[in-house]
């Protein structure tokens, strides 16, 4: 009876890589306990990102703890996304805001960066999956924050060139009506409305402001907004409708705190506010 041939011994390099992957999995799990990442899944995630040249040594030098968090975020783990937002995105946005004044509000910028890094891209994984662990995650996120700020500035510059009219002039033109009552209100309460509207807009949560920005400023369709956030178009439509309602209600409440008007006058001024909402959002969220 012949003896079956024995399997060839595993190359030393393969054994070293397997051991390094095992150690990496342990390091990642120890840094972020409780995240929903199985050892086998993170092992495969790492193996796909290890350089071909001297992979075992390269793996030891990678930012394994950051890769573990990124992997969990890509998988949609809510605790991972919350930690990523607090420790990496908000810190990077705050640093960028100190360096570049006049940009969007920090909360809005955080939402924009999260959309860029975590939103689905059709058949492609979220952009955060491109982080390869060569260097820390915070520096990698900071590059995305800076690029997002530059993109916003370029978009705003193009919009100014395409629409050279002064925003105030557009507001005045839109508010001029054939209704003498509305024209009277516009003339007498324009400043109060502008301040109340700006305050109400600032009180919206970042998702509500971004929903209005995408719809009214960026001119995205309901389908595009839904795809950007990974939700059904009906959900995106509800976001926009609720954001609009919240903005109108907030403006009304702000005006009540500033003006002493009758109920009839409030009803009339709300007609004016409703007619001016779109251009007002464009003016405040574009700048």
Q: Percentage of the chain with pLDDT > 90? A: 15
Q: Is 124 helix (H, G, I), strand (E, B) or coil?
A: strand
Tokens 């926009």 sit on residue: 240
> For position 183, what pLDDT does the model report?
60
Among 91, 105, 107, 186, residue whose Cα is nearest residue 141: 91
Q: What is the pLDDT of residue 34?
A: 87
Among 84, 79, 82, residue whose Cα is nearest residue 129: 84
On the CB side of 99, how many CA atoms lie within 13 Å of its CA?
11
* Between residues 216 and 156, the one the model is more confident about: 216
Whether the predicted model's global pTM rises above the 0.95 cut? no
Q: Give the DSSP H/E element, type plus range, for residue 263.
A: helix 263-286
Structure tokens at 217: 């400023």
Mean pLDDT is lowest, of 47-61, 183-197, 238-252, for: 183-197
Q: Please say if the pLDDT value at position 92 is more than 70.
A: yes
**How confident is the model over 232-253, as pLDDT tens digits?**
788 888 888 888 888 888 888 8
Asked if 158 and 112 touch (Cβ cutoff 8 Å), the reply is: no
**Is 11 a residue whose pLDDT tops 80?**
no
Higher-scoring residue by pLDDT: 154, 212: 212
């Amino acid at each position: 009876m012949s003896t079956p041939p024995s399997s060839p011994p595993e190359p030393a390099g393969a054994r070293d890589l397997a051991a390094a992957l095992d150690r990496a999995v342990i390091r990642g799990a120890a840094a972020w306990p409780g995240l929903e990442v199985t050892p086998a899944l993170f092992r495969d995630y790492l193996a796909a990102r290890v350089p071909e040249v001297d992979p075992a040594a390269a793996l030891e030098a990678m930012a394994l703890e950051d890769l573990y968090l990124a992997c969990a975020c890509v998988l949609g783990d809510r605790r991972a996304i919350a930690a990523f937002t607090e420790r990496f995105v908000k810190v990077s946005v705050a640093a960028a805001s100190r360096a570049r004044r006049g940009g969007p509000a920090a909360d809005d910028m955080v939402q924009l960066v999260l959309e860029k890094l975590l939103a689905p891209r059709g058949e492609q994984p979220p952009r955060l999956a491109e982080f390869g662990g060569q260097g820390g995650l915070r520096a990698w996120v900071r590059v995305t924050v800076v690029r997002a700020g530059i993109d916003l500035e370029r978009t705003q510059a193009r919009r100014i060139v395409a629409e050279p009219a002064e925003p105030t002039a557009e507001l005045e033109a839109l508010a001029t009506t054939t209704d003498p009552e509305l024209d009277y209100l516009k003339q007498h309460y324009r400043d109060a409305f502008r301040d109340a509207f700006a305050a109400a807009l600032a009180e919206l949560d970042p998702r509500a402001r971004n929903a209005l920005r995408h719809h009214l400023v960026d001119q995205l369709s309901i389908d595009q907004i839904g795809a950007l956030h990974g939700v059904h178009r009906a959900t995106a439509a509800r976001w926009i409708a609720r954001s609009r309602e919240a903005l109108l209600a907030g403006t009304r409440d702000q005006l009540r705190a500033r003006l002493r008007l009758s109920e009839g006058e409030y009803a009339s001024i709300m007609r004016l506010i409703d007619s001016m909402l779109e251009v007002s959002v464009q003016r405040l969220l574009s700048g």
